[in-house]
Structure 1
Amino acid sequence: MGERSPALNYRKKNRFKAVKTTIQLAILVFIGIVLFQTLVNVEKYAEPDKSKWTNDKGFIALSYFGVSRSGTPKLIAKAQLNKQLKVLKEMGYVTISQQDILDYYEKGKKLPDKALFLAFEDGRNDSELFAQPLLEKYNFKATFLSYANKMGNGDGKFLQPGDMKKMMKNGYWELGSNGYRLTYINIFDSEGRFVGLKDENELRNKMKIDYYNHYLMDFLRDKDMIPSEDRPQMEKRITDDYVLMEQIYTDKLGFVPNTYMIMHANALGSDMNRLVTDVNDANIRRVFKMHFNREGDALNGKEHDVYDLSRVQPAPYWYTNHLLMKIKEDTGKEALFLTGEKKRAADWETARGAAEFIGNRIALTSEPSGTGMLVLKKSDDYRDVKVIADLAGNVVGRQTIYARYDRGKDSFVRISLDNNVLSVEQKKAGQPVEKLVVSILDDIDWKETDLALNKATIYTQAQTSKIDLTEESQYPVNIADTRKLDIVLQGTKLHVAIDGGSFEIARDIDASIDSGAVAIESAWNAQNKRDNIYDGVFDDLKISALKGNGKAGDVLYSNRLTGFQKLYNEAMRSFDATVDWMIETF
């Protein structure tokens, strides 16, 4: 008897349909729950017990430019934001409200022992989407800042008034303002041509912009940098921006937010024209109740003015220890640095800085204006070694591998990457450092859209007559790159290969440098004037002892992923890249 056709087996088909329907229903229920929690905001903020607050030393302020799913050169990844908020919670930080700050300065009320003012700037809807679950998770309150001219303009990238009103109801959010608009004035391109005034979205190629200022920061000027408006016209133009801001917020929200963070930070009251400063300050005090005028220092104490507060804007490329190192520098308080995978960390001694071990990665954070260093334990028992690693930190900053490092003699052989320059150096005991090789590597490709304008300042006509090639000759501080290093040191013979042999060097080293451990180091580069801390990134690091015949012997350390773990990581990276592309595209 022949087999029955599957098409006639209605019971089997019905069972399949039932299973399929059940799975579809379960997926719909799950999506419904997620959407309900996202749109309705079921969780409510739990107010802290302020009767126990005793701190009168001040608070720290952190303000993020934006949040994305996996991170970009301008937006922090939600997973990295989660790490940072988690460790701040574990360290005992409690978020404070705008009213808490006003009460601290105006009424002398106390703050929590570790007080944190948290904010998200630029008004992006993905900031609210990805930050909201984390605020709920850690019971943190934050201020969401927007540009007034983005409200009701139909731009889907920015949160709209109805959404802002809704997000305030759960208690996790307050509102603030970055101003009316993000517009640049008195622009000169890199060829010295006068461009004039442009909105942010009109500056498609920021690489070609060398001089500019923000709309509220100066007189409008002509190509000779002579004011094209008199004082009353300047004052009216600037005041009109604040009036328009007030009108939009009042019309769209029913009120004007209390908190202001001006663009561009650190200009008001410093190098800005005094007349321009005065009209801005008068309007700010008329419209707002507090102003974060400065950026770069986290701590605000009693000595600060409520209209001259400061915040730190953590860059998207900062590892958590980078943020903690900055907070430690500003507050003078010890930090709870992350170690990551303790088993991998146990092989190393931390000489300076802080290190986080993450799978096949070591993120080594330097000390402020200094270095970070790890020394491999027991590696000084081996004179001859082979070191393979991917150096994956930001281009602007120094990442170093010491093939031999003798702390007792203060002698070493080291190979460094700093601003896309390869250096090979040796140091004999009691002698200065000697450079053996200095070589500029092949140019690194990066996207012009990754460049953030940060040079807004007052300048003269004489300056604009000179071609400023800052961005054209230097890499932006937020650009990362990966270089593969293969280092072999045997006796006095050193061989270094870059990126699989595309660049190779062979040098003899001094015979007196005949012992030492293997170490890695990170160091800040002075080109980054806004941040004196650097994260060196060492991926797929493998350190092996060499036999007498030059072949690899015992593996002294390896954080390379193998087998299923490697396949899983590669699959997740591909998945994340696909999802990010879909989010950006659609």
Structure 2
Amino acid sequence: MRKFFRYLLQYAILAVVGYFIYQTAFKRDTPPVHDRAAWTQRDGFVALSYGGITIDDHVTSLVSKNLLREQLQRLRQAGYQTVTTADIVAFYEQNKPLPEKALYLMFEGGRKDSVLFSQPVLTGVGFNAALYLYGDRLNGWNRFFVRRSELNKIASNPFWDVASMGYHSKLINQTPTGGYAYYLTERLRGAPGGTEETQAAYIARVTEDFRLARQSIVDMAGVTPLGYVFMPANTLGVSLPEAEAAPNATALAQNFPMAFTRVGETYNPRDADPRRLTRLQVSPNWTADRLLLEIEARQPKSRFMDFSQSVRQGLWQVPVGELDAAGDRLTLAGPLGKDGFARLRGSEGFDNFLCQVKTTPPVGGASAIYLRWRDAASFVRIRTTAERVMVQEKNGTSLNTLFQYVLPQERSGPVVYDICVKGNRLLLSVDGKNVTSYPIPLLAETSRGSFALGAFDEEGATSDPAVFSDLSLTTFPAHWVSAPGINDVPLGQARTLTSVVLPAETLKGDPLRDAAALITAAANGVSVYLDLAGSDPATIEETASFVQSAPGALVFSKLLRGFVLPLGGLDDLGRLDTIITALHAKGFSVALRVDAAGQARLLEADFALKPDWLLFDTPPAADDSAMIPLENRFDRSHMLFRAAASAGSPTISYDVKR
């Protein structure tokens, strides 16, 4: 009887392996369809991650095959389309577009069941996925993990990408109490009383592990892995000490163009660091409806109407501290002696926005309003104490105070803010008073980020929370006006006006007067462009040189944002590209004015022009399909169309397509 069961087990194993090979190599399913010529979205993508998959619906530690099918079917019905690892790399490195609801599907751990049981589900919904695995598990025999002989078949399967979670999977530095560390996050400790691994040896070990992680897949699968998952999550770039983080970051950059280092959030915006991406690990007990709700709570949003319900709706990510809501009040408190922080989910794509909020800092501490938060090394914030207001910007290791305002001693109650952020300018009102006569300039590197709140315990003893109330936040798209002169632009009503286009020839008439005009526009946070439409290449180059050498050139170089160049009037697109490149090198932005003939010419051209903006002298076409080829090549959020003008108005407005 024992012999019979041994044979039965062997045949079962052979059957499973045969089925596995059939599923991953010989079955000819229709591959996923990726209509990349029709993709136009450049905002970001959703990343979902699964561990192993089981066929037993009663196993609570893994997502069942039936649940996976239900979830992926619902995602497809909701309009999601999967993308490959190469698509994500091209999105970040080449500004290539993605589909409207781009989904990157991941299976971590390199388990056989991930491929065996999910393959028919992927086939049924037309999705593809990426398998992330450890390199040292590819050799030898095991029941759970993909082996070398199977990896090659998976890599050639159109439903799968192969990516890495590192090479060595074993934990290190285990202690008698059961503690341990991941292979890349600590130096090796010797026996009790022995010496610890030197920094040089640690760097060499980390460097070699990343090399092996990539090379093992190259050797065994014949493909170069593009993606990497760093374990454990939320350490690299977050909590890992610099001595350990720096070698990991360097080796990662040398071997992989893309990496997931965080979990908890699912949306990755276009301005994210491609080696600091985040994914949502799907819980085994989530229904399809719950998964869609979790994704929706983390999606980008353009407007938040009811902040009194924002906590209940799960709009806030609170990694440190506790956030509570009572009516129109939000209170944020950190653990005793630590700072609290709460990030508004879905706000990572904010560019231009208005914010009104009242805040009361904790006694002996400070409250903070983060206008653009990427991470602890990149943000813009307004910090409030009982005595003063400070606008601070951090880019890298340097924290700079851009502006300070001392609050009147006799004031009481919350500090009332009215904030406008436009591009790289911040307009600030405190307690109904415009405290700066000129917009506060922001660095290009902090041009986008999430909205967040902070609470600081400066004395290490306060238990009071920071209070925020009457909070409203509204984004607005780019809005340009072309006018004969600055006096024709209603700057007093131009809070949501982002740019003004002025004729270039006026500068040569009275440069000092026009320098004053630039100052007037800049004081309202409006970027100024000079219109060179209709000019030949020689005139364009001459004007650009004049701007930098004329009287008042210092003002011009600081306040002039860029130039509007003609498309229709230039036959040599190569020379136009040279001019654009030269202006970019001088720090200027470039917009192309495109008439109807120019639009057709732009569609036909195979030359890779790289303007920052396109100004169409026609309204958007009723048939959106006519613009898809251009939206595929250019950022549609930087494509502006001529709006209907009022009779007798000297100005022309340009807006994004609604």
Given the two structures, how large is their TM-score scaled by the length of structure 2? Answer: 0.41
Q: Which has the higher contact order (CA 8 A, sep 6+)?
A: 1
